[in-house]
Amino acid sequence: MQAADKIASQRVSNPHAAIEVRRQNFEPVELGYSEEEARREAGRCLRCDVCIRCGSCERVCREQMKIEALSFSEITSDERILSDYSSPAERCIACGACALACPTGAMQIHDSQTHRELSLCGTVLNRLELLRCTSCGVAFAPQRYMDLVVQKSDGELGKTVTRDLCPDCARISGAQKFAWSVPPQEEQ
């Protein structure tokens, strides 16, 4: 379930016996949920029990990646909790650094054939479409992530590099260019 949907979802109200019925017996007042209502209410769970609230994901996003997509609030001196579920969808580049930093696996990155999803305890915080390699067609990275790579590396290199190949095809292409640029050695 998307984070925005979970946050916007309202508690399913528990049905109660009619007042006239309650006055005439000692039966339970709360009637309980139907199966569909119970599933809807359970779907609102953020699974906070899986996250140990260490804040490692937020630190790596903010300090190492310089993205600041995750916004946590301090609940104790050594515990933090995600407080802004909308920021990741707006700022996250789906690099996966937060998932690698998470000691419990509560933060996860999943790739499908077309998209990369970032989730915290099963709640989808961001979903980005993956670019396809112009050589082999495999999906390899979201545009936001590639924009950061271009910004960082082209600035360091001082030249623009086209990045429309997956890592495997880029490696092969680079090796072929290197092989063609080396003059053949003469036999002695």
- Predicted confidence (pLDDT) at residue 42 exceeds the cutoff of 60: yes
- Show the tokens assigned to 6: 């979970």
pLDDT at 48: 63
Average pLDDT of the residues in 51-80: 89
| Structural contact between residues 121 and 106, judged by C-beta atoms closer than 8 angstroms | yes
Percent of the chain at pLDDT exceeding 70: 87
- DSSP conformational letter for 25: -
Global pTM reads 0.68
pLDDT at 114: 95
- Predicted confidence (pLDDT) at residue 188 exceeds the cutoff of 60: no
What ranges make up the beta strands (E) of 3-161? 72-76, 79-82, 107-111, 115-120, 123-132, 139-142
